[in-house]
Amino acid sequence: MDKVLENRICLLIKEMTLEEKTGMIHGAGLFRTAGVERIHIPPLKMSDGPMGVRSEFVNDQWMPVGTPDDYVTYCPSNSAIAMTWNRKLARNAGKVLGEEARGRGKDVILAPGINIKRTPACGRNFEYISEDPRLTSELAVPIVRGIETSDVAACVKHFAMNNQETERLWVNVEADERTMREIYFPAFQAVVQKAGAKSIMGSYNLIRGTHVCENKDIMGTVLRKEWGFDGTIISDWGAVHTTKGTAEGPLDIEMSVTSDFDDYFLANPLISEIRKGHIDEACVDEKVRNILRMMVRLHMIELTEVPDSDGKKKILVQKNKNRKAGSYNTAKHRFEVLKVARESITLLKNEDRKLPLDPAIDKVLVIGQNAVISQAMGGGSAEIKALYEITPLLGISKFLGGNCEVRYARGYDIPAKKESDHNWQEDSLDASKAAAETAKETEDSARLRKEAVELAKEYKHVIYVGGLNHDQDLEGQDRADLTLPYGQDRLITELLEVRPDMTIVMLAGSPVSMKPWADRAKAIVWMSYSGMEGGTALAEVLFGAVNPSGKLAETLPEEIPECFRKEAYFPGRPLTDEEKKHMNAHLTQTYAEGIFVGYRYYEKNRIPVQFCFGHGLSYTDFTYDNLKIEEIPSKARANGFDVQLQVRNVGALEGKETVQLYLGEKTVSPENPVKELKAFEKICLRPRETKTVLLKITMEDFMHYDEAAGTWRLKHGDYRIYVGSSLQDIQLTQDITI
């Protein structure tokens, strides 16, 4: 702690009136707080979001200002960044976002979203990284560091246990301590302790009966005390429900979706409670302290000590002239997001090596709406006013050039959505209820299907680009099932009958079921919302200019797991009479599956999946050899292990491989997962090149949280180390005894 700074902040706060201080702790606009003009404290300016800096909004209305200078670089979603398994690219993606935010004059960027993907049906999964806490942490840390290099705070969201959209404001989460510590907390802890994240967003939901934004256990004991977080905690928009509870709790800034800023819980109602003596003003001081500390760290302001006319010390607030200026829409940013997009594209299936396609073909048919629709302007608060967006069709056409005839057919229809009188943002808080039904085939779709199938007969090369869009991958709603919308299953099945070699590209932010046709398909490519250059990257991969190296960051199951199909578990059960007495909630959601989330669940219950966690093919082949495990020497006890192995590229093309290390008990006990990701490294190998890969595991990696003792515990016994190319493609194993 910087004592000089803390002293100056204290002195400054003493000079401020209650009104001035209160202005700093609640929204005075939809995306800003009030500054204190008298003493030159600027307002805090915030913006969404995860896929680029959102367009400018009118201060008190959910209406875009409509200026022409808020077009930005459209960055890949976290679901895309995650599939790169590349820490350096994650950092660069964060850096682009931070620079753009600063370039647009922002102080806080409301990103990244790092909630664990508990169910494949969650509407916001595209904003999140993974179902696995280690992969999430390893990528979230560089994203946050990247953002914050530009004197902008990352507001990491949504802490904590915000894993469904259904009733997101009113769902009470009940999870045991081990589950929270092992699955849902680690990434947040990592961004606080390893990346030094400057702000955290408090989520909408309740945990164990109390809304997170006033939950002293979660925000106070865990975040502030245990993890030592001294940055700013900002509420999600409309997540605060009381004055006293919130004022006396660890949250610093209340933000919301309505324009009655003076009536926010931490505005006039708070001033009045303090004046009546019901709340101690020191609560406000504590919040202002956290905000000022962040402002100094962001180089927004500097505090200097000057003597006043009585010779007493006075604090002068000045603009810090050295603050980085940022930049947006630079050529470098576009190149960086292209690099991420390239490595995010994941080759799921390539029977008979159908891919890559020959770039010298003279005609190709592209089918499917995801080949042409722009995705940037969707997804809820993740929407972006992109400078441009290279769609898959545009990417393919520009890659192939003028000698190839590229024909396009829609294949299915996306029914227009009903126009709402309100803005999405205002509606979303009420609308976060029902799971969205899978959109069915319309009459138009049936006609488009027939047309596409007829056309496919004429074209030897057919590329299908379908999947989901932001009507499904959307904030404020979950999906009812994993079925592809708009009758795509039937369309793909019929197309495969006439073109069994067809390349299928699934563009989606969360899993879809491919069960009706995956067995028959020869080439399947998976991609997510991969930013403004997504179409360029896709074409490069399909035609072999780029060797794919993406790996799934989440399991692609055949359907929503059994445990989420019972109402009691998802979306939740009605409150009991007892709960109603002390809870401001609509549902209780019990995380009955505990730590068995994602692949931990499928492995434990031996449920076959379509494509497993960590899966992703290359156009070249790799072999794994020479596994050596050595204890890291230490005087007292083993510090961990160095795991070394050799990977060789035995194919004819340069390629990248992500070597994954999983750890499990040799004889798996029912309370533990079969195996868990503990380390990974992405390497690039030229043809016939061999590289030695070093993966480190620490003793902490062997530990599980002991609920009864309230601490992490190491169980002695035999463990198995698995190294491979995916969760299921394990190439080398070795047992060790602890």
Q: C-alpha angle 75/81/85, rounded to 5°?
A: 155
Q: Report how far residue 247's alpha carbon sits from residue 253's, in angstroms, rounded to the nearest whole number.
A: 10
Q: Report how far residue 277's alpha carbon sits from residue 296's, in angstroms, rounded to the nearest whole number.
A: 31
Query: Smallest gap, in angstroms, from Cβ of residue 603 to ligand BGC?
Result: 31
Instruction: Pick between residue 117 and residue 449 the one whose CB is nearest to ligand BGC.
Output: 117
**Which residue of 48, 489, 554, 701 would you call a contact of ligand BGC, by CB under 6 A?**
48
- Report the Cα–Cα distance between both ends of the chain, in Å, rounded: 38
Instruction: Pick between residue 110 and residue 643 the one whose CB is nearest to ligand BGC.
Output: 110
Instruction: Pick between residue 204 and residue 408 the one whose CB is nearest to ligand BGC.
Output: 204
Query: Smallest gap, in angstroms, from Cβ of residue 122 to ligand BGC?
Result: 13
Instruction: Pick between residue 232 and residue 381 the one whose CB is nearest to ligand BGC.
Output: 381
Q: Write the single-letter amino acid at 519.
A: D
Instruction: Pick between residue 75 and residue 110 the one whose CB is nearest to ligand BGC.
Output: 110
Q: Report how far residue 287's alpha carbon sits from residue 202's, in angstroms, rounded to the nearest whole number.
A: 14
Q: Report how far residue 230's alpha carbon sits from residue 239's, in angstroms, rounded to the nearest whole number.
A: 21
**Which residue of 26, 95, 117, 157 would you call a contact of ligand BGC, by CB under 6 A?**
157
Q: Report how far residue 101's alpha carbon sits from residue 129's, in angstroms, rounded to the nearest whole number.
A: 21
Query: Smallest gap, in angstroms, from Cβ of residue 157 to ligand BGC?
Result: 5
**Is 724 buried (19+), middle (13-18) or exposed (0-12) by CB count in 10 A?**
middle
**Residues 381 and 49 sit within 8 Å (Cβ to Cβ):** yes
Q: Write the single-letter amino acid at 127.
A: E
Instruction: Pick between residue 369 and residue 375 the one whose CB is nearest to ligand BGC.
Output: 375
Tell me, residue by residue from 223 to 262, as one string, x for binding to ligand BGC by CB under 6 A and - for no binding: -------------xx-------------------------
Instruction: Pick between residue 431 and residue 498 the one whose CB is nearest to ligand BGC.
Output: 431
Q: Report how far residue 34's alpha carbon sits from residue 44's, in angstroms, rounded to the nearest whole number.
A: 7
Q: C-alpha angle 562/567/570, rounded to 5°?
A: 70
Q: Which of 88, 93, 92, 53 shows the shortest CA–CA distance to 528? A: 93
94-to-140, 141, 153, 245 alpha-carbon distances in Å: 9, 10, 11, 34
160 touches ligand BGC by CB under 6 A: no
b/e per residue, 88-107, with b = 16+ CB within 10 A?
A: ebbbbbbbbbbbbbbbbebb
Residue for token pair 């604090």: 315
**Residues 110 and 47 sit within 8 Å (Cβ to Cβ):** yes
Instruction: Pick between residue 57 and residue 526 the one whose CB is nearest to ligand BGC.
Output: 57
606-to-279, 289, 613, 731 alpha-carbon distances in Å: 54, 52, 14, 20
Query: Smallest gap, in angstroms, from Cβ of residue 117 to ligand BGC?
Result: 16
Q: Report how far residue 386's alpha carbon sits from residue 406's, in angstroms, rounded to the nearest whole number.
A: 25
Query: Smallest gap, in angstroms, from Cβ of residue 148 to ligand BGC?
Result: 17
Tell me, residue by residue from 400 to 429, as one string, x for binding to ligand BGC by CB under 6 A and - for no binding: ----------------------------x-
Residue for token pair 């995705």: 375
Enumerate residues 6+ apart whose C-beta is below 8 A from 663: 675, 676, 678, 697, 701, 702, 719, 720, 721, 722
Instruction: Pick between residue 232 and residue 618 the one whose CB is nearest to ligand BGC.
Output: 232
Determine the size of the site formed for ligand BGC (CB under 6 A): 8
154 touches ligand BGC by CB under 6 A: no
Query: Smallest gap, in angstroms, from Cβ of residue 590 to ligand BGC?
Result: 23
Query: Smallest gap, in angstroms, from Cβ of residue 151 to ligand BGC?
Result: 20
Handedness of CA 84, 90, 92, 96 (dihedral sign): positive
Query: Smallest gap, in angstroms, from Cβ of residue 375 to ligand BGC?
Result: 18
**Which residue of 24, 25, 72, 110 would you call a contact of ligand BGC, by CB under 6 A?**
110
Helices marked H in 545-649: 577-582, 599-604
Q: Report how far residue 547's alpha carbon sits from residue 619's, in angstroms, rounded to the nearest whole number.
A: 6
Please give the positions annotated as active site. Answer: 236
Q: Report how far residue 110's alpha carbon sits from residue 152's, in angstroms, rounded to the nearest whole number.
A: 10
Query: Smallest gap, in angstroms, from Cβ of residue 169 to ligand BGC?
Result: 9
Tell me, residue by residue from 369 to 388, as one string, x for binding to ligand BGC by CB under 6 A and - for no binding: ------------x-------
DSSP E strands in 387-531: the ranges are 405-409, 462-467, 503-507, 523-527
Instruction: Pick between residue 31 and residue 517 the one whose CB is nearest to ligand BGC.
Output: 31
**Which residue of 49, 379, 466, 550 would you call a contact of ligand BGC, by CB under 6 A?**
49
Query: Smallest gap, in angstroms, from Cβ of residue 507 to ligand BGC?
Result: 23
Residue 589 tokens read as 């959601």
Q: C-alpha angle 620/626/630, rounded to 5°?
A: 130
Residue ranges binding ligand BGC (CB under 6 A): 48-49, 110, 157, 236-237, 381, 428
